[in-house]
Amino acid sequence: MTIQEELSATIQELVQPGKGILAADESHPTIAKRFKAIGVESAEEKRREYRSLIFSAAGLGEFISGVILFEETLGQNSLDNVPIPKLLASNGIVPGIKVDKGKQPLVNAPGDEITLGLDGLEDRLEIYKHQGARFAKWRDVFHISETLPSRQAVEANAEVLARYAAICQSMGIVPIVEPEVLIDGNHTIERCTDVSETVIREVFHALYRHKVNLEYMILKPSMVTPGKDTPKASPEQVAKATLDVFRRAVPAAVPGICFLSGGQTPEEATVNLNAMNSMGPQPWALSFSYGRALQEPAQKAWAGNLDNGQEAQAAILKRARLNGAARSGNYRQEMED
Per residue in 64-91, pLDDT tens?
Answer: 999 999 999 999 999 999 999 999 999 9
Tens of pLDDT, residue by residue over 20-53, are 999 999 999 999 999 999 999 999 999 999 999 9
Distances (CA, A) of 144 to 156, 236, 275, 287: 16, 22, 24, 24
CA 227 to CA 285: how far, in whole Å?
26
pLDDT for 88 equals 98
Q: Hey, how many other C-beta atoms are within 10 angstroms of the C-beta on 101?
A: 17
Alpha helices in the chain (DSSP H): 3-14, 28-36, 44-55, 71-74, 84-90, 121-131, 151-170, 189-209, 235-249, 266-277, 292-302, 309-326
pLDDT for 49 equals 98
Torsion of CA 61, 75, 43, 309, to 10 degrees: 20
DSSP 138-166: EEEEE--SSSPSPHHHHHHHHHHHHHHHH
Q: Hey, how many other C-beta atoms are within 10 angstroms of the C-beta on 16?
A: 18
CA 327 to CA 321: how far, in whole Å?
10
pLDDT for 337 equals 87
pLDDT above 90 (res 13): yes
Where exactly are the structural domains of the chain?
3-336
For 210, the enclosing helix (H) or strand (E) is none
Strand 218-219, strand 174-181: pairing = parallel
Are 84 and 9 in contact by the 8 Å Cβ rule? The answer is no
Question: Looking at the domain that runs over 3-336, which CATH code has it been given?
Answer: 3.20.20.70
Q: What is the mean pLDDT of the chain?
A: 98
Q: How confident is the model at residue 222 (pLDDT cuts 50, 70, 90)?
A: very high
pLDDT above 90 (res 111): yes
Any residues with CB less than 8 A from the CB of 154 and at least 6 apart, and which? 142, 198, 199, 202
Catalytic residue annotation: 178, 220
In terms of Cβ atoms closer than 10 Å to its own Cβ (0-12, 13-18, 19+), residue 231 is exposed
Tens of pLDDT, residue by residue over 124-177, are 999 999 999 999 999 999 999 999 999 999 999 999 999 999 999 999 999 999
3-state secondary structure of 113: strand
